[in-house]
Structure 1
Amino acid sequence: MKSEDSKHKRSTPKKSRFRLLHQYYSYTGFYKFLGTSLKKALPPILIFIGILMGIHYFVIDINELLVKMTETYSAIVILTVFFISESILGIIPPEIFIAWSDKTDAPLVYLSIIALLSYLGGIISYFQGVLITKIPAMHEYLEVKMAKHVNNTRKWGGFLIIVGALLPIPFAMTSIAAGMIKYPFVSYLLFGLLRFVRFYLYALAIFSLV
C-alpha cells in the first residue's frame, strides 16, 4: 500500500511556481479586479481627452493656454503644486502636467522631472501609511475608509502596486496602503519604478494631441 502511495506521489507532477501564482490570483479575484480597474481607467482617459479637445476647439486653443501657463507661472511653482498633489492622494490629474511639459523649452527633461516627482510623492505616501499605523485613532479610521484597498494590498502586494503605478488611479492611495501593511520598502521602490513607464507612455499620446 505504501509503495503504491509513494508511486502515486512520484507520478503526480509538481505545479510550477507560475501556475501556483496564476491559481492564487484567480481564486482571490485579482484578474477580475484588474479587468474592473481597466474598465474604470478608460472612461477618465477618454473624458480627459474629450474635455481637452472641447476646450481646444470651442473655448481656447489649448496650446495657447499651456504656453500662457508656462509664461505666467514659473516651473518651480508648477512642479511644487504637482509634487504636493502626488503626495496627497493625487488630487490633480497628472495628464495636465504631462501636457504642460510639452510646452516647456525641454519637454523630455520636464516630463522626466514630473515622473520623478510622482515617484517621490508615492514614497512620501508610503511613509504616511507607516506613520498612520503609529497613530491608533487615525489607523482605525483609515482601516475602515480604505478597507478594500488595504485588504487587496495584503492579498496581492506587488501586483497591486504595479497596477497603481501604471493605471490612472491615485498612486498615493496604493502607496499609503502599502505603508499601512508594512509592505517591504525595497520591493515597493522597484515596483514603483513603473511610474516612469506610465508617464512616458501617456506622453506619447498627449504630446501628439497638444
Structure 2
Amino acid sequence: MKSNSKSVKKTRLQLLHQYYSYTGFYKFLGKSLKKALPPILLFIAALLFINYFVVNINDLLIYVTENYSDYTVFGIFFASESILGLIPPEIFIAWSDKASSPITYLSILALLSYLGGVVSYFSGIAIAKIPTMKNYLEVKMAKHIKNTRKWGGFLIIVGALLPIPFAITSIAAGIIGYPLTNYLLFGLLRFLRFYLYAAAIFSLI
C-alpha cells in the first residue's frame, strides 16, 4: 500500500510539473526573477549613493522617526499597499530599523502589507460586480488575470515573495474569484518576504 501511495504521489507531482512546464510558468518565474533583481540592486545602489553623497540615511530615518508619528507612517504604508503598492516597502523596512523595537515594527509592516493585499482582493471582487470597471481592468490587466487563472496559488506566492506590487496580484485574484481561504494561506508568505528583506537592509544601514 505504501509503495502504491508513493507512486500515485510521484505521478501527481510529475503531472503538475508537466502542466507548469507546458503553460510557461517556469519561464514566467524566470522572467519575474530577472525583472526583480535590477530593482533590488538599484535600490541598494541608490541607498548607498544617498548615504555617502547626499544625506546620511541613518540621520534621515531618525528625523522621520522623531518628527512623524508611527500611526502616520503606518497609515501611509497601509494605503500604499492597498492601492497598487505605489511606494516600495523597502523604504518602510529601513524606517523600522530605527524604531524602538525594530522586529515589532517590521512585523506590523508585514501585517499591514498582508491586510493591504486582502483589501485589494476584496476590491477585485467588488470590481468584478461592476461591468464597466471589470471590462476596463480585464483589458489593462489581461496578462496578469490570464496568468492568475492558469496558475492561481503559485502566482500569489510569486506576488507575495518578489518585489512586484502584491496589490495587483491580489486584485486579479479577486476579479477571477480565487478562493479566499487559499489566498489568505498563500499570502502569509508576505511575512517571509519582509523578514528576508529586512535581514539585508538592516545590515546596510
Alignment TM class, shorter chain as reference: over 0.9
| 2:121 counterpart of 1:126 | yes
User: Structure 1 residue 72: deviation in Å?
Assistant: 1.1
Where do 5+ consecutive residues of structure 2 fail to align? 1-6
Identify the residue that residue 20 of structure 2 maps to in structure 1. 25
- Within a 5 Å distance, the mapping from 1:107-186 to structure 2 comes to 107-186=102-181
Aligned mate of 2:189, from 194, 200, 210: 194
Query: SS of 1:182's equivalent?
Result: coil
Query: SS of 1:168's equivalent?
Result: coil
The AA in structure 2 aligned to 1:84 is A
User: Structure 1 residue 187: deviation in Å?
Assistant: 0.3
Identify the residue that residue 80 of structure 1 maps to in structure 2. 75
Aligned mate of 2:60, from 50, 65, 72: 65
When Rg is computed on C-alpha atoms for both structures, the one with the higher figure is 1
User: Structure 1 residue 53: deviation in Å?
Assistant: 0.3
For residues 149-179 of structure 1, give each alpha carbon's deviation from its aligned partner in whole angstroms, at most 9, with x where no partner exists: 0000000000000000000000000000000
Where do 5+ consecutive residues of structure 1 fail to align? 1-12
Please give the alpha-carbon distance, in whole angstroms, between the structure 2 residues aligned to 1:111 and 1:88: 20
The AA in structure 1 aligned to 2:27 is K
Query: SS of 1:65's equivalent?
Result: helix
Please give the alpha-carbon distance, in whole angstroms, between the structure 1 residues aligned to 2:201 and 2:116: 22
User: Structure 1 residue 95: deviation in Å?
Assistant: 0.1
| 2:44 counterpart of 1:44 | no
Please give the alpha-carbon distance, in whole angstroms, between the structure 2 residues aligned to 1:120 and 1:145: 24
Q: Percent identity?
A: 73
User: Structure 1 residue 41: deviation in Å?
Assistant: 0.2
| 2:50 counterpart of 1:55 | yes
Aligned mate of 1:102, from 78, 81, 97: 97
Aligned CA RMSD, in angstroms, stands at 0.9
The AA in structure 2 aligned to 1:133 is A
Please give the alpha-carbon distance, in whole angstroms, between the structure 2 residues aligned to 1:47 and 1:140: 35
The AA in structure 2 aligned to 1:172 is A
Identify the residue that residue 8 of structure 1 maps to in structure 2. none
User: Structure 1 residue 99: deviation in Å?
Assistant: 0.2
The AA in structure 2 aligned to 1:132 is I
